[in-house]
């Protein structure tokens, strides 16, 4: 079963993780639900952790 963390702002339909549009009304999903944003956030957290290890 797909992970559905977000809901459509227009119709309230649950949106799959990483989907760029709602499956029911086809409006754009929130930017934080998209995979490139999640990858960038994850990589920045890893970079901060590595920087914290070397500069502490």
Please, which pLDDT band fits residue 1 given cuts at 50, 70 and 90? Answer: low
Q: Which residue segment(s) compose the domain that 13 sits in?
A: 6-54
- 25 in Cβ contact with 8 (< 8 Å): yes
Domain assignment present for 12: yes
Any domain includes 18:
yes
pLDDT digits (tens, 9 = 90+) for 7-49: 888 999 998 888 888 889 999 887 777 777 667 777 888 888 8
Residue 1 lies inside a defined structural domain of this protein: no
Count structural domains, the chain. 1
pLDDT at 56: 67
Q: Tell me the C-alpha to C-alpha distance, in Å, between residue 12 and each of 1, 8, 26, 27, 51.
A: 19, 5, 12, 11, 40
Is residue 36 within 8 A of residue 42, CB to CB? The reply is: no
DSSP structural state of residue 31: G
């Amino acid at each position: 079963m797909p992970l559905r963390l977000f809901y459509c702002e227009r119709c309230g339909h649950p949106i799959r993780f990483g989907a760029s549009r709602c499956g029911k009304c086809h409006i754009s999903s929130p930017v934080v639900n998209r995979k490139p944003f999640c990858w960038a956030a994850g990589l920045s957290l890893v970079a901060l952790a590595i920087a914290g290890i070397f500069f502490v």
